Amino acid sequence: MSSSPASIDAEYNSPNVVCRITYTPLDSQSIIASVQDDGAGATAVFIGTTRNSFKSKVVTRLEYQAYSKLAIKTMTDIANLVMQNTSRSQHQPEGQCTPAIIKCAIHHRLGTVPVGEPSIVIAVSSPHRKEAFDACEEILEQVKKKAQIWKREYYEGEDDANAEWKTNA
């Protein structure tokens, strides 16, 4: 299937947040490196990959489409909101203004994603592990719930024409 005109590479960059939607295979190590910071004692990472089965069916590949301009805005809003709402570290001295989350990166793949390859990579750095883990999980859940990204699963032995688009939830 050819991609929709709305499914284009899109990116948002700020000093603390990077969001990217791309047809290019995701480089997990460079995404992780992008959130490194000398003030970070923790980096939490989620790498969502195409698995080879779903409900006793053999998955051959996934395909993703997005309304890219809106999806990148949604992902950026999610990252910024999670960074603002993540509780301040209980380990910091009273009155200190160090953010609980230092940097965040969300990268989502478009097009065909073969079995074993990443569809999404989320990396979060923080002074402490709990905030990094919590933020990473919250970002994942919100992206799956809100981002304008759809996936199509292809199964072994089934006609590709029968593959249906589903929300990325």
- What pLDDT was estimated at residue 86? 79
Using the predicted structure, report yes or no on whether residue 77 has a pLDDT greater than 70: yes
- What pLDDT was estimated at residue 95? 56
Higher pLDDT, 169 or 146: 146
What pLDDT, in 10s, does the model give residues 78-104?
999 999 887 554 455 555 556 799 999
Would you tell me how many other CB atoms lie within 10 Å of the CB of residue 16? 17
Would you tell me how many other CB atoms lie within 10 Å of the CB of residue 82? 23
CA distance 52 to 138: 26
Q: What is the band of 166 on the pLDDT scale with cuts at 50, 70, 90?
A: confident
Using the predicted structure, report yes or no on whether residue 168 has a pLDDT greater than 70: no
C-alpha of 159 from chain center: 29
**Average pLDDT score over residue span 51-70:** 95
Q: Provide the residue ranges of all domains of the chain, joining segments of one domain with +.
A: 16-87+100-157
Using the predicted structure, report yes or no on whether residue 53 has a pLDDT greater than 90: yes
Q: Which residues pair with 20 in a beta bridge?
A: 11, 107
CA distance 163 to 1: 11
Q: Residue 149: what residue type?
A: I
CA distance 114 to 8: 19
pLDDT averaged over every residue in the chain: 90
Which tokens is 27 given? Answer: 């480089």
pTM for the structure as a whole: 0.89
Q: Residue 39: what residue type?
A: G
Contact in structure between 100 and 125 (CB atoms under 8 Å)? no
The topology under which CATH files domain 16-87+100-157 is Aldehyde Oxidoreductase; domain 3 (3.90.1170)
- What pLDDT was estimated at residue 88? 54
C-alpha torsion sign, points 64, 159, 54, 27: negative
